Amino acid sequence: MKRLLILEDGTIFEGTAFGADVDVTGELVFSTGMTGYQESITDQSYNGQILTFTYPLVGNYGINRDDYESISPTCKGVVVRENARLASNFRNQMSLDEFLKRKNIPGISGIDTRALTRIIREHGTLKATMANVGDEIEHLESQLKATVLPTNQVSQVSTKTPYPAPGTGRSIVVVDFGLKHSILRELSKRECNLTVVPHTTTAEEIIEMNPDGVMLTNGPGNPEDVPQALDMIRGIQGKYPIFGICLGHQLFAMANGAKTYKMKFGHRGFNHAVREIATGRVDFTSQNHGYAVSSEDLPSDLMITHVEINDESVEGVRHKRFPAFSVQFHPDAAPGPHDASYLFDDFMEMIDIFKGDEPTV
């Protein structure tokens, strides 16, 4: 069955349908990762987006039980050059096609993803519609132009009630803005006793839990659409060590007076080189974001710790007075390089120093 990918600039691609048989509209983005399609599709930071993979062959090792970043993915659709007909891997449980059918996510293959990526790089992220051949094109195009993309992505993907991930070590409150399971795995490796809470949790509610530290997770969308989180962050900083990742990084910076901006096409992939300013160390990192913290007029309480080598965008900040820091990239990787996983150890050490204990990691 043929399927169309219709862009808001009028460009139309025709390809082959796979996955679920549904029409969808969303923001069209691309990822440069060579592997890790399962982790990317199940990353809630792609909520509401049509995800294009620039690597030409996707689905060749299938879907397995270990690589989920969430159980119920919320991306709108998947675009690939070639969908592998045969999945070969000892962990394989089902094909990408079957997985997308189960999750009600449509896919389209046979697309010139290089040409599509060039359009996004030139024009920036675009709205797009995926629909079957035979649907009225003019109607689809007018409907696409009239579509207003939602701004409540975080509320769609954040947990509605708190839940524990028990451990025997440091007590960490994890504020869920659309977290990746790999963040919980990294904290669990360090024997942390975790409590995951909704994004609407207040500073007072966190203080009642009396944690050793607070993690602000990744998540989708524009940080300006989550204003209630800023008061929460202001209410707990200085009382507990804070570590923010991706959207959590942007919110932490905004809570301290920084500004954010929408990038032309964002950073999405697993090969982004980031330099730590203090040491000159360069890490290759996993990234997935369409907004960034502005380096202009940065508040005096914040210092930039990391920058992206290619475009010099802000990749990390640290508070000058409080035990708190954040990074734009994903030190938990999954998928991607593990160069920056040491930041979780830095967080553990920050907690121990703040408590007056000897660091145990």
What are the pLDDT digits (tens) for 16-48?
A: 999 999 999 999 999 999 999 999 999 999 999
In the chain the first and final C-alpha atoms are separated, in Å, by 55
CA distances from 52 to 20, 30, 58, 208, 307 (A): 16, 4, 10, 43, 26
Which pLDDT score, from 0 to 100, does residue 138 have? 83
Three-state DSSP state, 199: coil
The answer to whether the CB of 119 falls within 8 A of the CB of 35 is no
43 is catalytic: no
Q: Which residue pairs from 134-141 have beta carbons closer than 8 angstroms and sit at least 24 positions apart in sequence?
A: 135/4, 135/23, 137/4, 137/6, 137/12, 140/4, 140/6, 140/23, 141/6, 141/10
Locate all alpha helices (DSSP H) within 160-227, ordered by sequence: 181-189, 203-209
Q: State both tokens at 41.
A: 């599709």
Angle subtended by helix axes 247-255 and 228-236, to nearest 10: 70
135-188 residue pLDDT tens:
678 888 888 989 999 999 999 999 999 999 999 999 999 999 999 999 999 999
Position 124 pLDDT exceeds 50 = yes
Position 287 pLDDT exceeds 80 = yes
The answer to whether the CB of 191 falls within 8 A of the CB of 167 is yes
Annotated binding-site residue? 46: no
305-361 residue pLDDT tens:
999 999 999 999 999 999 999 999 999 998 999 999 999 999 999 999 999 975 544
* Active-site choice (181, 246, 306, 352): 246
CA distance 320 to 244: 15
Annotated binding-site residue? 290: yes
Q: Could you tell me what percent of the chain has a pLDDT over 70? A: 99
Question: Which residue in 83, 5, 1, 3 sits closest to 37, CA to CA?
Answer: 83
Q: Which residues contact 54 (CB under 8 A, 6 or more apart)?
A: 30, 31, 32, 113, 114, 117
Q: Mean per-residue pLDDT for 266-293?
A: 96
* Active-site choice (176, 330, 339, 352): 330
Position 125 pLDDT exceeds 50 = yes
Which pLDDT score, from 0 to 100, does residue 133 have? 87
Position 229 pLDDT exceeds 60 = yes
Q: State both tokens at 111.
A: 């697309």
Q: State both tokens at 20.
A: 């679920």
246 is catalytic: yes
Q: Mean per-residue pLDDT for 203-229?
A: 98
Q: In the predicted model, what is the mean pLDDT of the chain?
A: 96
Specify whether domain 2-149 bears CATH 3.50.30.20.
yes
Q: How buried is residue 297: exposed, middle or buried, by Cβ count under 10 Å (0-12/13-18/19+)? A: exposed
Q: Which residues contact 175 (CB under 8 A, 6 or more apart)?
A: 197, 198, 199, 201, 206, 214, 215, 216, 217, 229, 232, 248
Q: What is the CATH number of domain 154-355?
A: 3.40.50.880
* Active-site choice (43, 176, 283, 332): 332
Annotated binding-site residue? 45: yes
Question: Which residue in 59, 60, 50 sits closest to 30, CA to CA?
Answer: 50
Element containing residue 41 per DSSP (H, E): helix 37-41
Domain range list for the chain: 2-149, 154-355
Q: State both tokens at 229.
A: 């989180």
Q: What does pTM read for this prediction?
A: 0.96
Please tell me if the domain spanning 2-149 has the same topology as the one spanning 154-355: no
Q: State both tokens at 226.
A: 């989550």
Annotated binding-site residue? 250: yes
CA distance 12 to 342: 45
CA distance 153 to 328: 19
Annotated binding-site residue? 72: no
192 is catalytic: no
Q: How buried is residue 259: exposed, middle or buried, by Cβ count under 10 Å (0-12/13-18/19+)? A: middle
The answer to whether the CB of 109 falls within 8 A of the CB of 15 is yes
73-84 residue pLDDT tens:
999 999 999 999
